[in-house]
């Protein structure tokens, strides 16, 4: 006979602890013939004591990927690929093409003068510029120029296209989308623009010019969309904000100096399903460890350091990308003694918060820091 209880904690009143026997095995077969089953055979698996992440911790090191990203320039045209993207694949999430949890991510590269035509889809998308100059995107007619470390949103259902101006440089950026989540909910749609491109005459960077002044909004502008009217978050203002905050705050024990990107109209997340933040680790700062529901993908925007994730040390430097699956212990350390390090992140916290699933826990042992058991 097989004991269906694999966790000693399950052998209590209130958990499924039925022992198999021949009569039950025959019963299970009869149930299966009617496309039914006995809940007690799966109850402990589908209702675990705590979250059981389905993703692996992965670090995608830029020095190893850079050649492959640039190689795609010679092999594929954006007009044939739709989007020239090398996507980041989690070895445990291959079936849904996810980088972590229900988040998709990839690196898109374009040459000066290239344009990727306009489309829209039900999935939300966003971009963090890794390298380049005078890239651009057009979102619902809003034309935005993009340089290194700028962050831009392309909310679900909006027409959007990308390119690099003739006077620009080869540019690449990290894409992040909720495609796996949208597909899991069986809610995805996709449409190609009937004119191929939007043909907007709106002034360049009108969105940040209108809505990017800290603490102020235009008195008579009306914005009816569910997403942020501020679509571009420039690096210079982001970094200035981190430094200003650091001058008056000790920061967060788990994340150092951290600022969220927000919708200036609401103070909430810029989009419905994905959240974003930029955190700064001051010289030699080593945070405490914690874990939370929700998945996070980090990109190193500046500096050099390491993170301890699930007891394993992952060293990182600028443009590296790594992920922290849900409910996994993690902490961060800046290796520089005389300079800061910055980590950009995309997460699925808005989904966790709307569904009232968000929880967070501090590491309870060893003064709040994990023991390092291995180095990746």
Give me the domains of the chain, ranges plus CATH numbers.
8-46 (no CATH), 59-214+227-375 (2.60.120.10)
CA distances from 177 to 88, 97, 156, 354 (A): 12, 11, 9, 18
CB 182 within 8 A of CB 122: yes
Cα 235 off chain centre by: 18
pLDDT tens track, the chain, 376 positions? 344 447 899 999 999 999 999 999 999 999 999 999 999 999 999 999 999 999 999 999 999 999 999 999 999 999 999 999 999 999 999 999 999 999 999 999 999 999 999 999 999 999 999 999 999 999 999 999 999 999 999 999 999 999 999 999 999 999 999 999 999 999 999 999 999 999 999 999 999 999 999 999 999 988 989 999 999 999 999 999 999 999 999 999 999 999 999 999 999 999 999 999 999 999 999 999 999 999 999 999 999 999 999 999 999 999 999 999 999 999 999 999 999 999 999 999 999 999 999 999 999 999 999 999 999 9
Both tokens assigned to 337: 């003694």
CB 256 within 8 A of CB 281: yes
All residues at 6 or more sequence positions from 190 whose CB lies less than 8 Å from its CB, including other chains = 119, 120, 121, 122
Question: pTM for the complete prediction?
Answer: 0.96
**Burial state string for 72-97 with b = 16 or more CB within 10 A and e = fewer than 16:** bbeeeebeeeebbbbbbbbeebeeeb
CB 170 within 8 A of CB 111: yes
Distance CA 141, CA 151 (A): 18
For residue 115, give the nearest of 155, 157, 143, 88 by alpha carbon.
Answer: 143
Both tokens assigned to 371: 């023991």
For residue 179, give the nearest of 164, 166, 189, 193 by alpha carbon.
Answer: 189
Of the chain, the end-to-end C-alpha distance in Å amounts to 41
The structure tokens 């690196």 sit at 107
For residue 280, give the nearest of 310, 319, 308, 250 by alpha carbon.
Answer: 250
Burial (CB < 10 A; 0-12, 13-18, 19+), residue 330, is: buried
| Coil vs helix vs strand at 47 | coil
Phi-psi region of 327 (alpha: psi -120 to 50; beta: other; left: phi over 0): left
């Amino acid at each position: 006979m097989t004991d269906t209880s694999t966790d000693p904690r399950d052998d209590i009143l209130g958990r499924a602890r039925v022992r198999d026997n021949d009569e039950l095995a025959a019963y299970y077969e009869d149930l299966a013939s009617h496309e039914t089953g006995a809940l007690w055979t799966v109850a402990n698996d589908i209702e675990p004591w705590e979250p059981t992440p389905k993703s692996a911790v992965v670090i995608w090191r830029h020095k190893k990927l850079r050649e492959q990203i640039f190689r795609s320039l010679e092999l594929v045209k954006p007009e044939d690929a739709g989007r020239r993207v090398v996507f980041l694949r989690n070895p445990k999430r291959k079936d849904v093409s996810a980088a972590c949890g229900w988040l998709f991510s990839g690196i898109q590269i374009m040459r000066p003068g290239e344009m990727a035509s306009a489309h829209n889809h039900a999935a939300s998308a966003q971009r963090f510029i890794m390298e380049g100059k005078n890239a651009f995107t057009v979102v619902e007619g809003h034309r935005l120029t993009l340089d290194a470390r700028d962050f831009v949103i392309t909310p679900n259902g909006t027409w959007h296209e990308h390119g690099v101006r003739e006077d620009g440089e080869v540019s690449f950026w990290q894409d992040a989308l909720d495609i796996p989540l949208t597909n899991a909910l069986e809610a995805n749609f996709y449409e190609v623009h009937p004119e191929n491109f939007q043909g907007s005459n709106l002034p360049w960077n009108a969105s940040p010019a209108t809505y990017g002044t800290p603490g102020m909004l235009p008195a008579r502008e009306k914005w009816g969309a569910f997403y942020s009217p501020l679509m571009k978050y420039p690096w210079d203002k982001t970094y200035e904000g981190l430094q200003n905050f650091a001058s008056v705050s000790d920061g967060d024990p788990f994340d150092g100096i951290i600022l969220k990107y927000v919708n200036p109209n609401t103070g909430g997340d810029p989009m419905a399903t994905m959240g974003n933040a930029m955190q700064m680790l001051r010289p030699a700062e080593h945070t405490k460890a914690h874990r939370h529901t929700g998945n996070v993908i980090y990109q190193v925007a500046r500096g050099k350091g390491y993170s301890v994730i699930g007891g394993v040390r992952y060293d990182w430097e600028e443009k590296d990308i790594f992920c922290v699956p849900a409910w996994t212990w993690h902490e961060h350390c800046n290796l520089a003694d005389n300079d800061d390090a910055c980590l950009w992140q995309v997460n699925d916290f808005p989904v966790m918060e709307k569904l009232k699933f968000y929880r967070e826990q501090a590491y309870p042992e060893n003064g709040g820091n994990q023991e390092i058991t291995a180095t990746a």
